[in-house]
Structure 1
Amino acid sequence: MSILKSIIEHINYVASAILFVIGLYTVLTHSNLLKKVIGINIIETSIFLFFVSVGYVTGGRAPIVEASGNHVYVNPLPSALILTGIVVAVSITAYALSLIIKLYEAYGTLDMDEIMEARSGQTNE
């Protein structure tokens, strides 16, 4: 019973680990470049969830200085880091998708194995 209670109390960490494994499995097992980008986005999302979960404080308040009281405050640094990470992740995803479009125009496929075969055939000539 205590294991179930512990899992329920830390469900954010469990969900983050599950999302990470799903994304890693997707990246490692699929040769379609679009599916790989989706897997990388799932991994990024799991890391964002993990950092936000670490920064959460039960009963914490916004870090606004008040004149009275002894309060527990939430650390704003994880949220700021995650906002920066989201911007970087969106930028990298947009760049990766533009590269995928160029690869599709050049080779007519998104399958990494077929692209590698076509590239090896071009270098032998």
Structure 2
Amino acid sequence: MLDFFLGHYAYWFTIILLCIGVYGILFKKNLIKKTIGLAILQISVVLYFVSIASKWDATVPVLDPNIPVDQVANYLNPLPHTLMLTAIVVGVATLGVAFTLLLAIYNRYETLDEEELIEKLQ
């Protein structure tokens, strides 16, 4: 049983990060904490996809005369890693826009508490 947990530590770490992110989104009242929870959730998804796309004893997909063409299983698929790199870039840009909007909300309403914002908007 312990070997199972230690053998899949990346998945358990991903699940823990996912739970922390969902907790931050659902139960925190401050909008900055909700945004940080969303970022943690996104990082956990990227970590999950990178961990399932990796293979042991695989190499980069560059034509190597030492590896025969019929043994393509020895190559690593670069597509998931490329997509996750794109997801990281889009996530950082989205996080920057979110913090800019939070700054505008704070300058106008002088609070980032969810309940106080709802009261001020009504």
Report TM bin, short chain: over 0.9
**Structure 1 position 75, deviation (Å):** 1.1
Q: Which residue of 2 aligns with 1:66?
A: 64
CA–CA distance in structure 2, aligned partners of residues 23 and 8 of structure 1: 23
* Structure 1 gaps, min length 5: 121-125
**Residue 99 of structure 1: how far off its partner (Å):** 0.5
TM-score of the superposed pair, with normalisation by structure 2:
0.93
3-state SS of paired residue (1:80)? helix
- The 5 Å alignment of 1:1-125 reads 3-70=1-68, 72-120=74-122
Normalised by the length of structure 1, the TM-score is 0.91
CA distance in 1: counterparts of 2:103 and 2:111, whole angstroms: 10
RMSD, matched Cα: 1.0
> Identity over the aligned pairs, expressed in percent?
36
Distance across 1 between alignment mates of 2:40 and 2:67: 41
Classify the secondary structure of the residue corresponding to 1:66: coil
For structure 2, the residue ranges without an aligned partner over 5 or more in a row are none
